Amino acid sequence: RHPLATFFHLFFRVSAIVTYVCCDWFSRSFVGCFVTVLLLLSFDFWSVKNVTGRLMVGLRWWNQIDEDGKSHWIFEARKASPNQIAATEAEARIFWLGLIICPLIWIVFFFSTLFSLKLKWLALVIAGISLQAANLYGYILCKMGGESDISKVAASFLSQTVFQTASPGDFQKPGLEGLEIHKH
């Protein structure tokens, strides 16, 4: 249903990882590589947060500061529609796999950078972890309806994902009609 959104969901993520890994082969400019990877990570953060999450899984989140200076997380989820669930199941799997696997890759980069003592790259790897983990955290909270206890959210998300993989017809998937907004 949304091939362009699916492409860009993976394109910026994979491009940032490939550019980071291959940067020393193609360029000797640390600043050029750093800026390129950081731009790709920023494009990925923006596109996932504002476009691909809404189109591929019907979820959106943002953080809003009120007049008192308090931070409020706001979550949107579209209500499920039976006729559109099957059409978006593949996109939803791609979305969640990309959202989960890429931060894990950046964590591996963190430890390899730390143990190889390439400390100048550490700031970039931390930026990669931060941007991708922020999207993962926001979308997990959004999928779980804005629960604030991360251990409950993580356990619930993992168990729901495992059971959906085991028997996908038994559970309701996010659809594309209606809209529910949760404030936290």
pLDDT digit string, tens, across residues 34-57: 999 999 999 999 999 999 988 888
The DSSP result for 124-182, as a single string, is HHHHHHHHHHHHHHHHHHHHTTS---HHHHHHHHHHHHHHHHH-GGGSPPP-SEEEEEE
Question: What is the spatial distance between Cα 109 and Cα 115, in angstroms, rounded to a whole number?
Answer: 10
Average pLDDT on 101-121 reads: 94
Query: pLDDT averaged over the chain?
Result: 81
pTM: 0.74
Which residue ranges make up each domain of the chain?
Answer: 3-149
Can you give the pLDDT at residue 81? 64
Pairwise pLDDT comparison (170 vs 183), residue with the higher score: 183
| pLDDT band, residue 10 (cuts 50/70/90) | very high
Structure tokens at 99: 């959202």
